[in-house]
Amino acid sequence: MSVKTWMPPSTVRKSQLKSFRYKTKPSQHSVAMLRQIGIVPDIIMTRISGSLTKDMRRKIALFCSIQEEDLFEAPDVDSVYRLPIIYTKQKLGEKICDKLDLKVEEVDLDKWIKVDSILSKKKEKVTIAVVGKYIKLNDAYKSVYEALKHAAIFNQVDLNIIKVDSEEVEGDSSIIDSITTQADGILVPGGFGNRGIEGKISIIKKARECKIPYFGICLGMQCMTIEFARNVLGIKDANSSEFSETLHPVIHIMEDQKSIDKKGGTMRLGAYQCEIKKDTLAFKIYKETSVSERHRHRYEFNNEYEKLFCENGFIISGKNKEKNLTEIVEWADHPFGIGVQFHPEFKSKPFEPHPIFCNFIKKALEYKNKRAKSSD
């Protein structure tokens, strides 16, 4: 996965960097402050991009009142999935067990070594554009990025993420064209409020028309619905009742949310069942007719429009039968156009990537290769 790396400030010269030395004072001061509030460390892990010298180990151990053998390196790595291997080599687990008087068991690193091996190989690159309104916040969409990374590992490809601020693409077709030319797949994640919505809808329209693999999560599914209503069904004022008082709220507030005034933690939260129709993209992905997924939302697909949508190439492939809630929607006659009301990224794991993310990356790779062949 391509990430931004730290670069020295422009005021620092290369000659100065060559003579750069790590200082142990920050570690000493940190431990001193912890002691002031009654926290005495048994083990210290030092964040470092290189290795601790013998002199550094001696100083930290001496001034932090620990044994040198209780000092470990927490090195900078290009992938956090390499850390279990590094810490095991340092025997960190054995040291923790010793401190807690626990039995030391043999550690099986085979899965981690396999992941590290995949990450280390030179692989074909897949570019995914993530279009959201919180892009400038580093921690926003973190679970989505990690789920994409899990799927990239599964498909054994390098992942390149283009972060697109949906406000910046509003009304600018040239930016949208530039993004969709670079991207092999487009993902619109969850969110709230009307800021940046028109930008998302515009880029979703491009994905549908150009048959670029598209994946919408929560709000991304709702924007997919609004776009289809406006540009396929011809309902120009179609919108969500969250954004405007439209005559055609194709997305509206859930019935059990209407009486809630205080927002707080009152959304539809947690796991709910979703029944999946056979002969749909969702069924091909899950290979099951019933799945459980986690939710976090207040608004939903307006079932009053269900017949109109379904008669015009909009597939409702997943529903919660208990509340008659639309959970999964798809574009007919499209290689991969899917939107989900739930948050599949919450269930993705390094060794068990979520199937929708896996299929999304797979289709993005196929789209890239197909586009490359057509340009030859």
pLDDT at 317 over 90: yes
Q: What is the CATH number of the domain that holds 82?
A: 3.40.50.300
Residue 12 — pLDDT band, cuts 50, 70, 90? very low
Q: Name the active-site residue from 300, 345, 354, 358.
A: 345
Asked if 176 and 203 count as a contact pair (C-beta separation under 8 A), the reply is yes
Could you confirm whether 218 is annotated as catalytic? Answer: yes
Could you confirm whether 124 is annotated as catalytic? Answer: no
Which has the closest alpha carbon to 213: 347, 326, 370, 348? Answer: 370
Tokens 């095991």 sit on residue: 88
Q: Residue 18 has what pLDDT?
A: 47
Order of strands across the sheet that contains 299-301: 239-240, 249-253, 299-301
How far, CA to CA in Å, does 87 sit from each of 75, 93, 300? Answer: 10, 7, 45
pLDDT digit string (tens) for 101-130?
999 999 999 999 999 999 888 889 999 999
pLDDT at 259 over 60: no
Q: What is the pTM of this model?
A: 0.85
Could you confirm whether 343 is annotated as catalytic? Answer: yes
On whether both 161 and 275 belong to a single domain, the answer is yes
DSSP label of 352: S
Sequence letter at residue 31: V
Q: Name the active-site residue from 150, 252, 334, 343.
A: 343
Asked if 94 and 152 count as a contact pair (C-beta separation under 8 A), the reply is no
Number of residues in the chain: 376
Which has the closest alpha carbon to 233: 292, 314, 328? Answer: 314
Question: How far is residue 287's CA from residue 285's CA, in Å, rounded to a whole number?
Answer: 6
On whether both 56 and 134 belong to a single domain, the answer is no
* Domain region containing 232: 124-375
Q: Residue 202 has what pLDDT?
A: 96
On whether both 96 and 218 belong to a single domain, the answer is no
Q: Residue 348 has what pLDDT?
A: 96
Instruction: State what percent of residues in the chain have pLDDT above 70.
Output: 90
Question: How far is residue 86's CA from residue 116's CA, in Å, rounded to a whole number?
Answer: 11
Q: Name the active-site residue from 64, 146, 218, 327.
A: 218
Please give the tally of structural domains in the chain: 2
Decide which of 59, 82, 116 is a domain's last residue. Answer: 116
On whether both 178 and 315 belong to a single domain, the answer is yes
pLDDT digit string (tens) for 36-69?
999 999 999 998 888 889 999 999 999 999 999 9
On whether both 89 and 146 belong to a single domain, the answer is no
Question: How far is residue 79's CA from residue 270's CA, in Å, rounded to a whole number?
Answer: 30
Alpha-helical (H) ranges within the chain are 14-18, 25-36, 54-64, 83-89, 92-99, 110-120, 142-155, 173-182, 197-209, 219-231, 281-286, 306-310, 355-375
Q: Residue 298 has what pLDDT?
A: 80
Sequence letter at residue 124: E
Decide which of 58, 88, 116 is a domain's last residue. Answer: 116
Decide which of 100, 116, 132 is a domain's last residue. Answer: 116
Q: How far is CA 38 from the centre of its chain?
A: 38
Question: How far is residue 115's CA from residue 118's CA, in Å, rounded to a whole number?
Answer: 5
pLDDT digit string (tens) for 65-100?
999 999 999 999 988 899 999 999 999 999 999 999
